[in-house]
Amino acid sequence: MDESGLRKEIIALTRKLAALRKPQPFVPGKSKIPYAGRIYDGDELEALVDSSLDFWLTTGRYAAEFEESFAKSFGTKYCALTNSGSSANLLALSSLTGNMLGEKKLKPGDKVITCATGFPTTLNPIFQNGMIPVFVDAELGTYNAKPEAIEEAAEKEGVRAIMLAHTLGNPFDLDVVMKAAKKHGLYVIEDCCDALGAKFDGKPVGTFGHVATVSFYPAHHMTMGEGGAVMTSNPIYKKLIESFRDWGRDCWCPPGHDNTCTRRFGWKLGELPYGYDHKYVYSNIGYNLKVTDMQAAIGVAQLKKLPGFIRKRKENFEILLKAAKEHEEFFILPKMHPKAEPSPFGFPLTVRKGAPFGKNEIVEHLESKGIATRMLFAGNLIRHPAYIGQKYDVLGTLENADTVMRDTFWLGVYPGLTDGMLGYISAEMDSFIKGRKK
């Protein structure tokens, strides 16, 4: 048999194996209910095996296909794959320090507005680029940066950018952010790692700011195992993003290709001699944050299922919301901006002051019943050991960030949750609360 015949046979066997992997039946009280997980079948396994048989390994045909289709589905012109959402954030901010931007480039010492609650790698690129975060407090309910605090922070001297996540898939107030950015000439970086598919005023999040990011870690709306991407519609940012991702090079040939510019030995750049091989000319202080083609192959298969994944997340969120409404006297329920159409990553609840139980008690109860819970990531970021002694500004008191750290948790809404699991979660919440009511 020739190679193509063997490949077909291997793929047919792969699909056969995938078909054996059925979800285990849910047994209330015995089965674990994860907060998130990979949803896949023979399509993903086939793509993964197919790309591994290519043995191209680095960024290749699947990555090219993914970048093109993902940009379209996201609503931007360009997508650059990276090896994680954290790398995407690092790349997004770093690319705006590129020399191609001239006077407009971001520099060490510039200030960047960000939210005090959230995931550390929305914040870390600010420190990693020698810039200074300006922390604003979050709103309870949306867990996004307070709009009035953003407006106030944008007035501060030295502020050059706003870098914020759409928390747990709930869009932040893009009217206020974009207005402040326009008024003060600030860059906007939208961290959409938890918000793929969310909309604001009918338009996808990630298409408002200059640059946007997503994560493809297994907990997210779709996965590649590890992975992420940076999106933009601006060709200059695109060039910078690719350069910073690919070692800082000036050349834009895909891996394994030469002379895309047709002048490989015809450039005179920097203080290099004329004709120095363009493949090895560096115009930025870059990284290597590329993905493998195996990751991209999984992404190609997952992307086709994304609309269904998002739909199911929304349905699961509504079911949990209905159940939690019964206990509104004890919980701050999720809120959203009237123009926001979330694509939920999780279902957040904040235990109200005066409730007959604390967050730790309800979380411990749910965990003891096999129901996974999560904190709102870092809670108040500045309370973590990593940031003590670092240089940053704070606007106001961050009292809500402290409340989030103390009283907020979230439940999963991922597409693997069945009605049986969701019913069990509601029943366990009800029985815990009934036992605590005076």
Binding site residues, ligand PLP, CB under 6 A = 84-86, 89, 119, 121-122, 165, 191, 193-194, 215, 217, 228
In the complex, the smallest distance separating the C-beta of residue 83 from ligand PLP, rounded to whole angstroms, is 9
Q: State the pairing for strand pair 346-351/331-332.
A: antiparallel
Of the pair 125, 286, the CB lying nearest ligand PLP is at 125
> Cα–Cα distance between 274 and 271 in angstroms, integer?
9
Question: In angstroms, what CA-CA distances link 429 with 268, 307, 312?
Answer: 68, 30, 22
In the complex, the smallest distance separating the C-beta of residue 213 from ligand PLP, rounded to whole angstroms, is 7
User: Helical H runs in 185-256?
Assistant: 235-245
- Burial label, 346 (beta-carbon count in 10 A; 0-12, 13-18, 19+): buried
In 3D space, the residue among 4, 16, 83 whose CA is nearest the CA of residue 294 turns out to be 83
> Cα–Cα distance between 164 and 142 in angstroms, integer?
13
Of the pair 209, 228, the CB lying nearest ligand PLP is at 228
In the complex, the smallest distance separating the C-beta of residue 165 from ligand PLP, rounded to whole angstroms, is 4
Please, are residues 313 and 344 in contact by the beta-carbon 8 Å criterion? yes
Residues forming the active site: 220
Of the pair 199, 220, the CB lying nearest ligand PLP is at 220
In the complex, the smallest distance separating the C-beta of residue 164 from ligand PLP, rounded to whole angstroms, is 9
Of the pair 212, 323, the CB lying nearest ligand PLP is at 212
Please, are residues 166 and 177 in contact by the beta-carbon 8 Å criterion? no
Of the pair 49, 228, the CB lying nearest ligand PLP is at 228
195 φ/ψ sector (left φ>0, alpha ψ -120 to 50, else beta): alpha
In the complex, the smallest distance separating the C-beta of residue 16 from ligand PLP, rounded to whole angstroms, is 32
Of the pair 139, 194, the CB lying nearest ligand PLP is at 194
Helix-strand-coil split of the chain, %, nearest 5: 40, 15, 40
Which residue's CB comes closest to ligand PLP? 85
In the complex, the smallest distance separating the C-beta of residue 82 from ligand PLP, rounded to whole angstroms, is 9
User: Helical H runs in 326-407?
Assistant: 359-368, 399-407
> Cα–Cα distance between 150 and 162 in angstroms, integer?
9
Which residue type, as a one-letter code, is found at position 39? I
335, two tokens: 């809120």
- Kind and range of the H or E run holding 49: helix 42-54
Number of H helices, E strands in the chain: 13, 15
Question: What are phi and psi for residue 44, nearest 5 degrees?
Answer: -70, -45
In 3D space, the residue among 18, 39, 79, 53 whose CA is nearest the CA of residue 302 turns out to be 39
In the complex, the smallest distance separating the C-beta of residue 193 from ligand PLP, rounded to whole angstroms, is 3
Of the pair 84, 144, the CB lying nearest ligand PLP is at 84
